[in-house]
Chain A
Amino acid sequence: MTALSALIRRDIRIALRVGGGALIGVLFFLTVVVLMPFAVGPDLALLSRLGPAILWLGALLASLLTLDRLFMADHEDGSLDLITMSRTPLELACAAKALAHWLAAGLPLIVATPVLGLLLNLDMVATGAVALTLLAGTPALTFTGMIGAALAVTLHRGGLLMAVLVLPLSIPVLIFGVAASQAVIVGPVTFGAPFSILCALSLVSLVIGPFAAAASLRHGLD
């Protein structure tokens, strides 16, 4: 356990120290949301209807973009070699890195949601619902995205290719995240059904993500 907590503490510390690594994600999130009124017009009624969808898309893109270098940085400076050789199973180390990334980059997005909800004319309940769905759903985005981050190491390239590979995998999370938020605002379904499926998706990705990432890393070192 000390090994894993050491890894988590290190990654968070680096994220907070290096040029606001975590905050850039929030800034990107904010920028995407601010762009929306320019695209669809400053119609507050329309914006509040699209609000949850905009927030979810923003969070999806923000978490995907910040994930790009999750393993790449460790690969480039040789840390990944030593992590592979440690007594900690690589799957657990991957999970710890993803958890650290979520704490450093995912949580700030959720904290920022209420402010962005104001900009999109969402009321308190709706904003709360979106924040809650993001809290339940962003772990799934992180743990799915980490597969792409691990593939980026294997392939020596990240960026657009990874986005193209990973985004289709996150469609279910998007569907149920937005549906649960919309359920609170307009119905017609109850909040519980899509929300519990969203939680289930997060739990499934918690299992699949580390195994797939570790499999990819183990075969991809060179």
Chain B
Amino acid sequence: MSGLDQGKMQLSGRGVVCVRGGREVFSGLDFEAVAGEAVAVVGRNGSGKTSLLRLIAGLLIPAGGTIAIDGGDAELTLPEQCHYLGHRDALKPALSVAENLSFWADFLGGERFEAAKSLATVGLDHATHLPAAFLSAGQRRRLSLARLLTVRRPVWLLDEPTTALDVAGQDMFEGLMRDHLARGGLIIAATHAPLGIDSRELRIGGAA
């Protein structure tokens, strides 16, 4: 496994149809994103931004169309090359900050970076041994970001990533995204607020 140097990695969707609860959210959606590029998915509430991310992550099954990745690690499926940062933090309050992080590092597998260093990057190195229950919403988000740094996966799927982050946190996060793109990563973010980095806009659900 050679990390993120996979040449020209490209994520593309063709004619994707999303149906949820018997209601068609969007249909005939085409999109693509190449390595080193950030795509900001915008649209009004209920237009299917979160659904699109979950379709890419393999957590929803498209009612039609295809989503594929080219030039990535051929042995891995698309979801296995994605990091999904959703509304929910996937943290266990009973476990300490370090335990939470090292569990995901062990469980997700693949190339692994030093957990302590990622915690320092997101500004949580003072709280390593505290239970995650004591973290504030912003700190929980930072801990989730540390997961993206500890386990390297080329595609980041971010759902409203900057909620709960303070200004310093948002600056830190913009830096992380720039580093990730510079390494040849790929970001797809659903967002209402500006992403803070250069990005291409993908509008879904028609005009607002």
Chain A 1-42 residues near chain B, CB threshold 8 A: 2-3, 5-7, 9-10, 13-14, 17-18
Given contacts A14-B94, A78-B87, A82-B90, are A87 and B60 in contact (CB under 8 A)? no
B106 touches A3 (CB 8 A): yes
Is B205 located at the chain interface by the 8 A CB criterion?
Answer: no
Q: Is chain A's binding surface mostly helix, strand, loop or mixed?
A: helix
Q: Give the contacting residue for B84; candidates A5, A7, A10, A81; CB below 8 A.
A: A81
Is B8 located at the chain interface by the 8 A CB criterion?
Answer: no
Given contacts A2-B106, A7-B107, are A86 and B92 in contact (CB under 8 A)? no
B57 touches A81 (CB 8 A): yes
Residues of A in contact, count (CB < 8 Å): 26
**Docked pose: A123 CA to B149 CA in angstroms:** 59
Is B171 located at the chain interface by the 8 A CB criterion?
Answer: no
Residues of B in contact, count (CB < 8 Å): 30
A13 touches B59 (CB 8 A): no
Q: Is chain B's binding surface mostly helix, strand, loop or mixed?
A: loop
**Docked pose: A172 CA to B118 CA in angstroms:** 51
B95 touches A2 (CB 8 A): no
Is A43 located at the chain interface by the 8 A CB criterion?
Answer: no
A84 touches B91 (CB 8 A): no
Given contacts A82-B84, A85-B84, A86-B107, are A10 and B90 in contact (CB under 8 A)? no
- Provide the residues of chain A in CB contact with B109, threshold 8 Å: 2-3, 86-88
- Provide the residues of chain B in CB contact with A17, threshold 8 Å: 94-95
Within the complex, the shortest CB–CB distance from B98 to chain A, in Å, comes to 13
Is B89 located at the chain interface by the 8 A CB criterion?
Answer: yes
- Provide the residues of chain A in CB contact with B86, threshold 8 Å: 78, 81
A222 touches B20 (CB 8 A): yes
Is A221 located at the chain interface by the 8 A CB criterion?
Answer: yes
By beta carbon, the residue of chain B nearest A4 is B107
Within the complex, the shortest CB–CB distance from B154 to chain A, in Å, comes to 13
A-B pairs, top 8 by smallest CB distance, nearest first, are: A78-B88, A6-B106, A78-B90, A85-B79, A79-B90, A17-B94, A10-B103, A3-B107
Chain A residues in the interface with B (C-beta under 8 A): 2-3, 5-7, 9-10, 13-14, 17-18, 76-79, 81-88, 219, 221-222
